Structure 1
């Protein structure tokens, strides 16, 4: 409901000013190229360059998109460090305004012309609240507010939700994060490639398309040079420039380090009562954070919905955009416009790889049941538990020639499902493969590996991956994970490797494969093998990793859901 205080002050039935500016040409051109979107309801007006004062007086430059029609419309707040142009202007400003929303698209402080210094993670809550205070003074604001946005634009929503204003009635967090440390570091290892790509985006995208494209191409050309530098610390400066926050994020590996104090917004979901729609992809770099958000919201009793498509972090806004937009629009109309007609009947919808169907589920994960698979001699993967814990297979990981990364949840090109044949032919990669399946096997939920391993140096990473091997022998990655470990002596160490989550059908005739290696570079910074920090190491020591027979791959057994449709995924 609109706040009583605001209703008393607001000018009723605000009428758009005459002669207002059309949205940018680049936005209108992109809008014309999209297919599969709902018909436009209103022409759109644009007020660029509005100034919103931050708490310290810094000007936050803001663009206002609105329906060119008299009457009351709810407002969407979008705050971005990536500028206010393409793609945010057409995706949020233009598309949602033509569906009947005021849209406020604002550059975070220190970016896109806004004043002050960009302090990653540090100012978003206060600056968001200041923007809501400014909204209350606008004659067109009817007191009903929603937020929407992707990636860091999701983080700023969680920051506002830590102390949500009374006007906030709905949120849509698309491939968004709430925990910066977990984005940069995974189980002790640095997410190197994604850190570098995010650094380029933060440093250049708000400067415009040309600088961003040049910086991205420069990173692609020099990625190997940067990621193999000894030491790694500071090597990115030749491409990204002097970006202190990036160096700090890469070098503070411990989640308990004071550097990360107050940066996680995860607690917001534990007490939130604002209806929140969540959207991610099975190969999104922030999939695990989105699923964690969903779990927290459910435990808090908050109205929430989850959509997981066959997407990477970026393809959700390319080929997946019709589904993402439809889901977002339906959620916002239901909770801001009292129009639930577009909502789906179940809380969760997931795309299932393998049979390329969409399934409606009551919850996620849908079933606690699991099946176990065990490695066996000659590279077999069996459902019979071993009778001993003897060494089964070993390989030598050399950080000077690190095992490369192939596909998976990357921000860069090459993300998603890929042919793993060349990777699995390497001597530093083990594979254990099940027999051809006599009937389909559905895997829906979190996948994990409980490994029994020993090393000859005490320092190693273990990378575990689930793959689908088709009838022609092509091995395609489904989900994976990595853990950095420290072993003692020659005795095996038990370690659990979280391998993220999936919804996947292994078809009859296909085989389940468990892939194990000592790293995935440059997705993860290589383990130097000496116990030194990976960002400061200059000396490398190869390690022999031995997998023991009492290791176990745990797959969540799929529960029946409603299959909505089939066809090629938008990936």
Structure 2
């Protein structure tokens, strides 16, 4: 990377001080316990080697890609950095099986780093997304522990993000498989064309059946990770156990700094991790902005938080004294500084589904009123309800007008009265839906929207839940009470706007369609229509719980 490019990057990320000089030593060989050799690059001060604290970055995205951006950025701030290519990527030996080898390989690497004459034994880790997950694969088990972590837009475990509510997150995984399966074959030209060309190919691939063969349509060759993902969709936690690090002892964890966004696919689980760390006695802080995964507008915050956190925990700098939680309230254009998560001043408020497609902010209906007839629709796996917006890896992401989807026969909507004043929502969101299907199978997708005075319906938050016969508690009349945690939010519903709850049986291809036949997702090629009844009223009080924040 040239000095001019580095100065431009520093300026874009908000760094104004003169950069420190550094040298880069390439292709250091790091042996791990099974004999595989992983390659790494060391960024250090020029001149004689001296033992210094070290920042470890473990990445599958290349030492000349994201790795060099992080390594050189930190080296220019005076940090010593080792950037390593994970197993099976960019020259490192072995086969890349995402998530499955990161704990043993990472711990072996940590021991190796601490044995080098240029390391004084203090090691921190940094990096976003998968690079952040490699930190979680080490930190709970390291002895002695890490000095600190910057784990951004990531989480301690795999399954709740990629199989949310039991429904495989199809399109996001396809986006990542498309990237990871091609990244070492892309040229400057094919990389430029990747978004329009491969975007169309990706959507065709995830719509094809059976899904177990979609990897060839995506990348032109079989991808082991895709096969793992679809083959183990029915019991994901069992297969992905090596990638699950959520059983950590918070008191033994290093200081952890996090950045995420309300539209990031990891935000749900990342806030669970943060809460567990904070309540368990760890030093932790988090910033939640109006961003999606990899949002360019988030990069300066990620970089500034990373440099500041490392400065405190590796170089003995002073902290900035900010609150443990800094959360952006969308459409209010303000940041809220909070002592903890969930916000302590938030008041949960129940909004009830009611007859006539209404949403009531007080109660499910007058006491003693007769049972309301259920609302019904039919889901067809051959024409699944499409997705629009939300926490996606690639556009369209964030908020979009939902009116076209809400006009479909397989979507129910319940709309509240116009707000008399601004209503700030900040915290956890949940839903309780009483539902019956004619087969006991099906998916329940719940989305909360902001309806503006012009009638546009803008998604705020949502969640999916997959019904599995025998796993759900079902009443004698076949009714299942579906309890769902929607993604948390920070959002202002402005005066004159209305809340809307949307209920459907799919959000395709964001989530894999439910075939309704009980077949394994990987091999299914046929489908069965499912008839839904959504119940509400005093006997079946379907509702959402929103975090009203003063």
CA contact (8 A) 2:326 2:337 kept: yes
- SS of residue matched to 2:56: strand
Q: CA deviation at 1:87?
A: 3.1
Q: CA deviation at 1:127?
A: 1.9
1:406 lines up with 2:388 in the alignment: yes
Name which of 215, 237, 243 aligns with 1:236. 215
Q: CA deviation at 1:282?
A: 0.6
Equivalences for residues 176-191 of structure 1 within 5 A: 176-191=154-169
Quick one: distance in 2 between partners of 1:327 and 1:33? 16
**Larger mean Cα displacement after TM superposition, 81-90 or 105-114:** 81-90
Equivalences for residues 303-342 of structure 1 within 5 A: 303-315=283-295, 318-341=296-319
Call closer, same or farther: CA 1:133–1:493 in 2, change over 3 Å. closer
Q: Partner residue of 2:144?
A: 166
1:58 lines up with 2:58 in the alignment: no
Deviations 1:256-315 (A, max 9, x none): 664223320112354533101111111111111211211221232111001111111110
Q: Partner residue of 1:460?
A: 442
- SS of residue matched to 2:518: coil
Equivalences for residues 321-470 of structure 1 within 5 A: 321-341=299-319, 343-367=320-344, 369-387=347-365, 389-470=371-452
Q: Partner residue of 2:526?
A: 539
Quick one: distance in 2 between partners of 1:142 and 1:257? 38
Q: Partner residue of 1:556?
A: 547
Name which of 455, 460, 468 aligns with 1:473. 455
Quick one: distance in 1 between partners of 2:254 and 2:280? 11
Q: Partner residue of 1:81?
A: 60
Deviations 1:2-48 (A, max 9, x none): xxxxxxxxxxxxxxxxxxxxx46896486267253343441332222
Name which of 266, 270, 281 aligns with 1:290. 270
1:505 lines up with 2:482 in the alignment: no
Structure 2 residues not aligned, in runs of 5+: none
Q: CA deviation at 1:486?
A: 4.5
Call closer, same or farther: CA 1:32–1:263 in 2, change over 3 Å. closer
CA contact (8 A) 2:380 2:528 kept: yes
Call closer, same or farther: CA 1:208–1:172 in 2, change over 3 Å. farther
Deviations 1:104-146 (A, max 9, x none): 1110011011112223223222222222233234333233221
Q: CA deviation at 1:68?
A: 4.4
Q: Partner residue of 2:257?
A: 277
CA contact (8 A) 2:178 2:202 kept: no
Quick one: distance in 1 between partners of 2:330 and 2:542? 26
CA contact (8 A) 1:66 1:101 kept: yes
Quick one: distance in 2 between partners of 1:214 and 1:457? 45
Quick one: distance in 2 between partners of 1:165 and 1:327? 25
Quick one: distance in 1 between partners of 2:400 and 2:47? 48
- SS of residue matched to 1:168: coil
Quick one: distance in 2 between partners of 1:533 and 1:226? 18
RMSD: 2.4
**Larger mean Cα displacement after TM superposition, 184-193 or 389-398:** 389-398
Deviations 1:364-395 (A, max 9, x none): 10136310001222222112322455334222
CA contact (8 A) 2:434 2:481 kept: yes
CA contact (8 A) 1:278 1:307 kept: yes
TM-score (norm 2): 0.91
CA contact (8 A) 1:112 1:207 kept: no
CA contact (8 A) 1:269 1:293 kept: no
Quick one: distance in 1 between partners of 2:262 and 2:280? 24
Number of corresponding residues:
533
Call closer, same or farther: CA 1:344–1:217 in 2, change over 3 Å. farther
Quick one: distance in 1 between partners of 2:373 and 2:502? 17
Deviations 1:309-348 (A, max 9, x none): 1111110xx121112211222222121122124x342110
Quick one: distance in 2 between partners of 1:105 and 1:481? 36
Q: Partner residue of 1:46?
A: 24
CA contact (8 A) 1:78 1:106 kept: yes
Q: CA deviation at 1:430?
A: 1.6
Equivalences for residues 67-106 of structure 1 within 5 A: 67-68=45-46, 73-90=52-69, 92-106=70-84
Call closer, same or farther: CA 1:257–1:100 in 2, change over 3 Å. closer
CA contact (8 A) 1:27 1:89 kept: no
Quick one: distance in 1 between partners of 2:238 and 2:364? 45
Quick one: distance in 2 between partners of 1:430 and 1:88? 46
**Larger mean Cα displacement after TM superposition, 281-290 or 530-539:** 530-539
Q: Partner residue of 1:567?
A: none
- SS of residue matched to 2:211: coil
- SS of residue matched to 2:120: coil
Call closer, same or farther: CA 1:329–1:255 in 2, change over 3 Å. farther
